[in-house]
Amino acid sequence: MTCSCGKPASILSPVPLCEQCALETALSLLSQCQLSDQSVRALIQSELNIPVKTQEHFSASDIADETGVSAQKIGRISNKYQLKCPDFGEWRLTKATNSNKQIESFFYNAQGRKQIMKLLKDGGYT
């Protein structure tokens, strides 16, 4: 039996596997895809319906509500001081507020939140 690319197929017929062997086979295949460890964990956990463990993150709106300034102000400060980087949070796909579009939004970790709070205090906004 040959693969669609013309090379000999490694597996000639499906073989039933226990859950552990199936997981090991899947991990072996995923390692060849050059995905990040976080992506591999997310794929595995989504299939097994296990929640993905991450540290707590805050949206600009969350921080804005807490500090009494607008979310736009949080975004402007964040852009000005280049806080939208892996040290201070992560980009996630979210749904736009007034449409069905998916957009990328930055969510701040505790360190990013703390830095924004400090900048707001130093700038006299709170």
pLDDT, residue 119, reads: 95
Burial of 79 (0-12, 13-18, 19+ CB in 10 A): exposed
- What pTM was computed for the model? 0.58
From CA 122, how far away is CA 126, in angstroms rounded?
Answer: 9
pLDDT, residue 62, reads: 96
From CA 93, how far away is CA 112, in angstroms rounded?
Answer: 19
pLDDT, residue 107, reads: 95
Which residue stretches of the chain have pLDDT < 50?
none
pLDDT, residue 50, reads: 57
